Amino acid sequence: MNKKIISVGIFCIIVVFSITSCDTAQKGLPNIAENRKLVEHSKEFEKKIYKVAEGVYCAVGYGIANSIMIEGKDGVIIIDTMETKEAGAEVWNELKKLTRLPLKAIIYTHFHPDHIYGAEAFVEKGTPDIYAHETTDNAVTRFTSETAPIIGARSMRMYGTYLDKKAMINVGIGPFLSFDPNSTLGYIPPTKTFRHRLKVTIAGIPMELIHAPGETDDQIYVWLPERKILMCGDNIYKSFPNLYTIRGTWFRSLKNWYRSVDIIRDLQPEYLVPSHGQPVAGAAAINRIATDYRDAIQFVHDQSLRGINQGMTPDELAGYVKLPAHLAQSPYLQEFYGKVPWSARSMFAGNLGWFSGDSADLQPLPPQEEAKMMAEISGGETKLAGYAKKYLAGGNYQAALQLSGYILRLTPENKEAREVRIKALVALGERESNANARHYYLTEALEMRDKFVAQPKIKLDPQMVKRFPLSLFFDSLAVNLDPVKSAALDKSVGIKFTDTNEAYTIHVRRGIAEITPRLEDNLDMLVHADSVQWKEMLAKLRSPGTTLVGFKYPKGNMIEFANFLNNFKTQSLQLSFEGRGK
């Protein structure tokens, strides 16, 4: 069989991870103004190993998150491992200067990438005990599968990864996200998990792991009761919390979050070590911070529901919920990372779903039709562009942004509208002290100027790909079925993985890919495959042509299988106003 034909036949096969991006992006936007509040906030992330207490150290400023070391009698415990192997290695090299003891265990406070993907850098011999909540590994799998492409792109905007240092001052809870084209990921799944609380002694140190859902449902605290030291993960950091994150997330329960902060107040720690920013010492200071923090979260929760029960729409709710002055002035509640209006909107969506309650939103005009209507009302695209320029000149940058979006939906290459939109985005970004909003505005301006879509550039570690379950790859496969290409197809393909004794059936049935974790009856095709090679092929770590030729085909053949896989096709990302619904 012709391998060249096979390779072309599955050229568009799904890639599970969003790891490539356009190389046309140029660093920097001209004359971007610094935000003084963000510049001052950078002091919180001075690159330093902080000695919290004897034998307890916190590495701050090496990446977006902290890594914490507890020195025991015969080994050390690492809490959180940074976002990449490279960042993890830098931290570990510094921490090893403080002790000669070996690594005894790793604890993940939660599943977010900046806390788990540097794990392999800390592991030098064998695999240590790795502690986490029982749901952490499933959350990692879910996070890296079905929505990875869009969350990857939105994360790059939110963290300002494509911006230069003048535009990207800090990321609100850390100095930067250390992802670049040379970064590698090294997550190791947990080996010891628990549900509610776990008392354990590691390296001679008695501690308690406490489930404390907040920023994530799998969030845990690490409590050293004899020393009154608490590692609180991401449930407290020096910013108004990300009760909703603009990169996109599952609903975060505000009630769970403030109740988890109440655990901190009940424990009365004398040292608080967050996974972002500097440690805090003193029981009174910690209690004051925790009380303000939980009060702010409960206020947003309660007042959002109060507004919802008055019939407010999400837009109305965003303007209605405002923190009381004493909370708005707290150093720990400045909106460097989260925002109150975003949190109120999330409360609406999490409790009532997408429908605003306004009948006009039951079946709204498609974006393209709305853009046509706005142009018609204005007297045509030229006059609409005139209004956009007028608002821009008058400093109403939000109006200019929205109007330019209508024009670009109708005529994407309209240079005048693109210029208006870029200027509006830059102006909105410059005046933002919220790092996430600043970066999102400025990155979209850069994307428009250089005509690319921001996506992560990361090297996948083959060992990490090997560890991911097959179910992750099949979940991603299903959501990338091309409904047009497969509209008339009705075919069942079974794949038996001979090295793991697992099996899956993919039944493509007129635009639907039903996937079951077993071999079904009456298969049209049967393939015997190696699971590692299958994963590496889908992750673009090996060539499809050379991979498929090594599989066996008890029923069907390699050409048929390649053609079948070609029904699964990833779509290129576009900017929001250039959406496909036209």
- CATH number of 482's domain: 3.30.1050.10
Whether residue 25 is predicted with pLDDT greater than 90 in this model: the reply is no
Mark whether 491 and 546 lie in a shared domain.
yes
Q: Measure the CA–CA gap between 550 and 528, rounded to whole angstroms.
A: 9
Q: Where are the alpha helices (DSSP H) in 52-117?
A: 85-95, 113-116
Average pLDDT rounded to a whole number, residues 404-417: 94
Give the pLDDT score at 149. Answer: 85
pLDDT, tens only, 218-245: 999 999 999 999 999 999 999 999 999 9
Instruction: Indicate if the alpha-carbon torsion angle 14, 470, 250, 17 is positive or negative.
Output: negative
Mark whether 9 and 85 lie in a shared domain.
no
| CA Rg value for the chain | 26
The answer to the question of residue 234 being in a domain is yes
CB 319 within 8 A of CB 312: no
pLDDT, tens only, 450-460: 999 998 887 77
Total domains, the chain: 2
Whether residue 9 is predicted with pLDDT greater than 50 in this model: the reply is no
Residue 80, number of CB atoms within 10 A of its CB? 30
Mark whether 11 and 99 lie in a shared domain.
no
Give the pLDDT score at 30. Answer: 87
The answer to the question of residue 371 being in a domain is no
Give the pLDDT score at 26. Answer: 63
Give the pLDDT score at 580. Answer: 55
Give the pLDDT score at 575. Answer: 81
Mark whether 280 and 172 lie in a shared domain.
yes
Ranking 131-145, 189-203, 398-412 by mean pLDDT, the lowest is 131-145
Torsion of CA 491, 497, 501, 502, to 10 degrees: -50
pLDDT, tens only, 478-504: 889 999 999 999 999 999 999 999 999
The answer to the question of residue 111 being in a domain is yes
The answer to the question of residue 455 being in a domain is no
Whether residue 18 is predicted with pLDDT greater than 50 in this model: the reply is no
pLDDT, tens only, 328-384: 999 999 999 999 999 999 999 999 999 999 999 999 999 999 999 999 999 999 999
pLDDT interval class at 190 (50, 70, 90): very high
Adjacent-strand bridge partners of 78: 69, 106
Whether residue 15 is predicted with pLDDT greater than 80 in this model: the reply is no
φ, ψ (nearest 5 deg) of residue 120: -60, -25
Mark whether 85 and 199 lie in a shared domain.
yes
Burial class (CB in 10 A: 0-12, 13-18, 19+), 400: buried
Mark whether 11 and 103 lie in a shared domain.
no
Mark whether 284 and 139 lie in a shared domain.
yes
Adjacent-strand bridge partners of 209: 198, 222
CB 306 within 8 A of CB 350: no
The answer to the question of residue 406 being in a domain is no
Average pLDDT rounded to a whole number, residues 257-264: 98
Whether residue 44 is predicted with pLDDT greater than 60 in this model: the reply is yes
Give the pLDDT score at 579. Answer: 57
Whether residue 266 is predicted with pLDDT greater than 70 in this model: the reply is yes
Mean of per-residue pLDDT scores for the chain:
92
Give the pLDDT score at 520. Answer: 95
Q: Measure the CA–CA gap between 528 and 251, rounded to whole angstroms.
A: 40
The answer to the question of residue 363 being in a domain is no
- Residue range(s) defining the domain that contains residue 247: 36-252+262-289
pLDDT interval class at 1 (50, 70, 90): very low
Whether residue 13 is predicted with pLDDT greater than 50 in this model: the reply is no
Ranking 97-106, 396-405, 468-477, 569-578 by mean pLDDT, the lowest is 569-578
Mark whether 13 and 158 lie in a shared domain.
no
User: Percent of the chain at pLDDT above 90?
Assistant: 82
Mark whether 9 and 65 lie in a shared domain.
no
pLDDT interval class at 570 (50, 70, 90): confident
Average pLDDT rounded to a whole number, residues 111-124: 95
Whether residue 33 is predicted with pLDDT greater than 50 in this model: the reply is yes
φ, ψ (nearest 5 deg) of residue 367: -50, -40
Give the pLDDT score at 127. Answer: 85
The answer to the question of residue 350 being in a domain is no
Mark whether 248 and 204 lie in a shared domain.
yes
Mark whether 109 and 157 lie in a shared domain.
yes
User: Percent of the chain at pLDDT above 70?
Assistant: 95
The answer to the question of residue 222 being in a domain is yes
Whether residue 264 is predicted with pLDDT greater than 50 in this model: the reply is yes
Mark whether 125 and 40 lie in a shared domain.
yes
pLDDT, tens only, 125-139: 888 999 999 999 999
Give the pLDDT score at 20. Answer: 40
Q: Which residues, in sequence order, are CB contacts of 532 under 8 Å at separation 6+? A: 466, 499
